[in-house]
């Protein structure tokens, strides 16, 4: 097999190979005269397998890019290219934002995508500890996800998951699905239980005055192998789409005594859409609590410290 034939067959498998990469590969495969005899004994299939293995290692080393595109296509398996492309067309990466002072965690909005045509708004949030040598971060939603915790009076030392557990269990799973989930007593499933455990709860997005202007979201959360907690909030505020106006108008016609109400909702929706051009001020709300074994449940569920990140939701150039 000639060098050109080898390169052509490699490119058919892996895509176009830069000249520098091809020369480096040939150099590694033929380091010197003493190796030339062995080169004749290496089959083309083995060469391809080695290249693919190297590419796989490189991909693992590069890591997975957790973002909205990955969330739609890999985590949720969305197979509608047009729907995913619409999200990508309206996506804003690292929008302008301001996190309130927080000595424990960094919380950032990595991506926002507002798609007026479908009336959806996705907010991709990432959180990490500021001091990873001493703290470990998990989502508070990873505690007792099966609903089996019953507090005092429950089994203090359950051998397996059950309906009468008196201690908290935590779920730790790999978002890629490649590693087995860890389920059990909190300290046993931590990455390093010599560290202090912080739990973060994303409580939603409001206006600066605390109103839920976007409605209430569906929420997904996961923890990356690097120890970051990710939340994806998916809103569907009806007023984003002009179809909402038509629905309210039809409602007012069907029920004349509600026409004034319907007209008011249309005016509110139109005003909100006009504000999208400049941006609607929003605040991401979250709560941080340090977990300790045997802590009071009221403190666990409602205590800790509140944090926030200010940002704005606006239409991108792809919007209408």
DSSP 94-126: S-SEEEPP-SSEEEEEEEEEEETTTTEEEEEEE
Please report whether residue 157 resides in a domain. yes
Same-domain check for residues 124 and 259:
yes
Q: Residue 136 belongs to what domain range?
A: 92-313
Highest averaged pLDDT of the listed ranges 13-17, 116-120, 146-150? 116-120
Same-domain check for residues 53 and 100:
no
DSSP 219: E
Do 136 and 105 form a contact (C-beta atoms < 8 A)? no
Is the pLDDT at 58 greater than 90, yes or no? no
How is residue 92 written in tokens?
């804003």
Same-domain check for residues 282 and 134:
yes
pLDDT of residue 304: 96
Q: Phi-psi bin for 145: left (phi > 0), alpha (psi -120 to 50), beta?
A: alpha
For the residues of 138-168, what is the DSSP string, one character each? Answer: EEGGGBSTTS-B--TTSBSS-SS--TTB-S-
Same-domain check for residues 198 and 277:
yes
Q: Which helix (H) or strand (E) holds 246?
A: helix 243-254
Same-domain check for residues 45 and 119:
no
Same-domain check for residues 37 and 143:
no
Q: How confident is the model at residue 117 (pLDDT cuts 50, 70, 90)?
A: confident
Is the pLDDT at 314 greater than 80, yes or no? yes
Same-domain check for residues 160 and 254:
yes
DSSP 236: -
Q: How confident is the model at residue 68 (pLDDT cuts 50, 70, 90)?
A: very high
Please report whether residue 320 resides in a domain. no
Q: Are strands 135-139 and 196-206 parallel, antiparallel or unpaired?
A: parallel
Distance, in Å, from the CA atom of 258 to the CA atom of 278, rounded to the nearest integer, reads 32
Average pLDDT of the chain is 81
pLDDT tens across 147-178, in order? 888 777 677 777 666 667 888 999 998 887 78
Distance, in Å, from the CA atom of 147 to the CA atom of 150, rounded to the nearest integer, reads 8
Do 104 and 288 form a contact (C-beta atoms < 8 A)? yes
Do 105 and 128 form a contact (C-beta atoms < 8 A)? yes
pLDDT of residue 18: 52
Please report whether residue 67 resides in a domain. no
> For residues 80 and 128, which has the higher predicted lDDT (pLDDT)?
128
Pick from 25-34, 141-150, 293-302: least confident:
25-34
Same-domain check for residues 36 and 147:
no
Please report whether residue 86 resides in a domain. no
Please report whether residue 18 resides in a domain. yes
> For residues 142 and 39, which has the higher predicted lDDT (pLDDT)?
142
Do 136 and 229 form a contact (C-beta atoms < 8 A)? no
What are the C-alpha distances in Å from 80 to residues 73, 85, 204, 233?
9, 9, 28, 20
Q: How confident is the model at residue 60 (pLDDT cuts 50, 70, 90)?
A: very low
Same-domain check for residues 145 and 229:
yes
Please report whether residue 202 resides in a domain. yes
pLDDT of residue 163: 67
Same-domain check for residues 143 and 275:
yes
Q: How confident is the model at residue 106 (pLDDT cuts 50, 70, 90)?
A: very high
Is the pLDDT at 203 greater than 70, yes or no? yes
Please report whether residue 318 resides in a domain. no
Nearest to 115 by CA among 277, 204, 241: 241
Handedness of CA 59, 60, 62, 68 (dihedral sign): positive
Same-domain check for residues 100 and 50:
no
Based on its alpha-carbon atoms, the radius of gyration of the chain, rounded to whole angstroms, reads: 26
Give the rounded percent of residues in the chain with a pLDDT score beyond 90: 55
> For residues 11 and 124, which has the higher predicted lDDT (pLDDT)?
124
Backbone angles phi, psi at 270, to 5 degrees: -65, -40
Mean pLDDT, residues 286-308 taken together = 95
pLDDT tens across 222-281, in order? 999 999 999 999 999 888 888 899 999 999 999 999 999 999 999 998 988 888 888 999
pLDDT tens across 42-57, in order? 444 444 444 444 434 3
When divided into structural domains, the chain yields a total of 2
pLDDT of residue 10: 46
Same-domain check for residues 150 and 265:
yes
Please report whether residue 319 resides in a domain. no
């Amino acid at each position: 097999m000639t060098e050109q034939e080898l390169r052509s067959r490699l490119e058919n498998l892996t895509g176009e190979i830069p000249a520098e990469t091809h020369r480096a590969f040939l150099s590694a495969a033929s380091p010197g005269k003493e190796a030339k005899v062995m080169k004749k004994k290496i089959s083309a299939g083995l060469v391809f397998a080695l290249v693919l293995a190297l590419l796989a290692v490189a991909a693992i080393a590069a890591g997975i890019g957790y973002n909205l595109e990955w969330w739609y296509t890999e985590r949720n398996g969305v197979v509608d290219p047009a729907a995913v492309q619409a999200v990508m067309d309206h996506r804003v990466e690292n929008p302008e934002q301001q996190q309130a002072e927080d000595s424990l965690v960094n919380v950032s909005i990595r991506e926002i995508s507002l798609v007026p045509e479908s009336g959806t708004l996705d907010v991709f949030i990432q959180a990490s500890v500021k001091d990873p040598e001493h703290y470990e971060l998990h989502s508070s939603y990873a505690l007792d996800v099966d609903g089996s915790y019953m507090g005092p009076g429950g089994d203090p030392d359950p051998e397996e998951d059950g309906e009468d557990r008196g201690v908290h269990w935590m779920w730790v799973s790999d978002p890629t699905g490649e590693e087995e989930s860890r389920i059990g007593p909190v300290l046993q499933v931590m990455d390093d239980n010599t560290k202090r455990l912080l739990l973060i709860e994303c409580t939603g997005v409001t206006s600066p005055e605390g109103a839920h202007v976007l409605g209430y979201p569906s929420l997904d959360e996961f923890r990356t192998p690097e120890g970051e907690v990710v939340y994806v909030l998916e809103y569907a505020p009806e007023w984003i789409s002009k179809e909402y106006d038509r629905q309210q108008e039809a409602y007012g016609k069907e029920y004349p005594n509600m026409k004034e109400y319907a007209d008011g909702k249309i005016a509110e929706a139109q005003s909100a859409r006009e504000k999208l051009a400049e941006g609607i001020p929003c605040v991401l709300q979250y709560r941080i609590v340090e977990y300790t074994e045997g802590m009071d449940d009221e403190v666990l569920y409602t205590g800790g410290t509140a944090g926030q990140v200010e940002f704005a939701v606006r239409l991108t150039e792809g919007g209408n």
